[in-house]
């Protein structure tokens, strides 16, 4: 039996670590990222998580296949560098894999978190059996991963799959990436909450006001989903708006990549058919008929474990990592 991978899902608010063997996840460890403390502090928290998982599992570091990290942001997978991560302040050109490998004598791999989730859903989740698949995570932001001929498409520098930064409206809202009208500004959970707040502040009546006791700024996708189930007009209209933009983005992906399947994950995807059904309809109406007839648009299956499972699968497919001697 192959040794396990110690996998991480590194985000702006939490660090999830676990041992992964195939799709089996054991010895989960949750901790806060404390991203506001800066890169070195976060790396120290990663070290502590490694030590806790090893202690709980009774394994020595030499018994691992590798350490593999799925991180938000633009990742240089070849050299193990976080080049930029908006959710991790100060993370610019951080050689994360090298820093970890200096402390632990094991191969270390690093990849984008949405790419990791795409790999997991393709191998063990909703995309099993497909050759050409696209994964999209719709949460606070939007990320993605592209599977072509059963392999993750990484692009020239490992940064492919930034679906959230596909521009849908040249005159749209300003995005954190510096562009305008990105899919992330129009179809994410953040966009959903902004739309509901805009409508309420504009005078539209909604159950949402009572649900947050008048504190409109506290409205999230969770409350919007609950209100929509009760027939709330503002909640339903807000969901339909972001579903429309999601559908427009999917049309481009369907026409360009002609995938067999698009898998939608992330917290906003928990809205289910309220989100997916309008998006599918737009694909049917606007995409090339040949392409639209070939694609299935389905919810993800692996939930919060997708990132750590995908990171482990990715690591098992790689040669031993050797960090660059100079950056």
pLDDT digits (tens, 9 = 90+) for 61-114: 999 999 999 998 889 988 999 998 877 889 999 999 999 999 999 999 999 999
For residue 223, the domain's CATH number is: 3.30.420.40
Please state the rounded mean pLDDT for residues 14-35. 93
Give the confidence band of 11 by pLDDT, cuts at 50, 70, 90: confident
103 with 208, same domain: the answer is no
Please state the rounded mean pLDDT for residues 13-26. 92
Q: What sections of 139-212 are H helices per DSSP?
A: 183-187, 189-201, 207-211
Q: Is 322 domain-assigned? A: no
183 with 219, same domain: the answer is yes
212 with 295, same domain: the answer is yes
Q: Which domain holds residue 166?
A: 128-300
102 with 143, same domain: the answer is no
Residues 6+ apart with CB under 8 A from 297: 250, 261, 262, 264, 276, 279, 280, 283
294 with 188, same domain: the answer is yes
Q: Is 321 domain-assigned? A: no
Give the confidence band of 157 by pLDDT, cuts at 50, 70, 90: confident
Please state the rounded mean pLDDT for residues 233-237. 97
181 with 270, same domain: the answer is yes
pLDDT at 206: 96
Query: What does each C-alpha distance from 279 to 5, 184, 190, 296, 297 come to in angstroms?
Result: 37, 15, 18, 12, 9
26 with 160, same domain: the answer is no
% of the chain with per-residue pLDDT over 90? 84
Q: Is 122 domain-assigned? A: no
Q: How many domains does the chain have?
A: 2
Give the confidence band of 254 by pLDDT, cuts at 50, 70, 90: very high
Q: Is 323 domain-assigned? A: no
SS3 76: strand
295 with 149, same domain: the answer is yes
146 with 273, same domain: the answer is yes
146 with 62, same domain: the answer is no
């Amino acid at each position: 039996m192959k040794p396990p991978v110690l996998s991480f899902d590194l985000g702006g608010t939490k660090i999830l670590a676990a041992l992964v063997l195939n799709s089996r996840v054991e010895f989960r460890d949750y901790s806060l990222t404390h991203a506001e403390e800066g890169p070195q502090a976060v790396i120290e928290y990663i070290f502590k998580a490694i030590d806790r998982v090893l202690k709980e599992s009774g394994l020595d570091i030499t018994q691992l296949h590798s350490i593999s990290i799925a991180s938000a942001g633009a990742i240089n997978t070849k050299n193990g560098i976080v080049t930029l991560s908006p959710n991790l302040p100060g993370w610019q050109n951080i050689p994360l894999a090298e820093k970890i490998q200096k402390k632990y004598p094991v191969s270390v791999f690093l990849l984008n978190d949405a790419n990791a989730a795409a790999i997991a859903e393709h191998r063990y989740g909703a995309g099993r059996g497909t050759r050409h698949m696209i994964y999209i995570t719709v949460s606070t932001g939007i990320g993605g991963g592209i599977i072509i001929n059963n392999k993750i498409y990484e692009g020239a520098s490992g940064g492919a799959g930034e679906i959230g930064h596909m521009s849908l409206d040249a005159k749209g809202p300003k995005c954190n990436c510096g562009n305008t009208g990105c899919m992330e500004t129009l179809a994410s959970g953040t966009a959903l909450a902004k739309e509901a707040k805009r409508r309420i502040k504009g005078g539209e009546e909604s159950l949402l006001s009572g649900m947050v006791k008048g504190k409109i700024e506290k409205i999230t996708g969770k409350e919007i989903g609950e209100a929509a189930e009760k027939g709330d007009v503002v909640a339903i209209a807000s969901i339909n708006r972001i579903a429309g933009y999601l559908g427009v983005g999917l049309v481009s992906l369907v026409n360009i990549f002609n995938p067999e399947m698009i898998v939608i994950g992330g917290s906003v995807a928990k809205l289910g058919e309220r989100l997916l059904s309008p998006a599918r309809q737009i694909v049917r109406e606007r995409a090339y008929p040949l392409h639209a007839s070939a694609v299935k648009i389905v919810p993800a299956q692996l939930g919060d474990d997708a990132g750590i499972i995908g990171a482990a699968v990715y690591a098992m497919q790689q040669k031993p990592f050797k960090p660059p001697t100079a950056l």
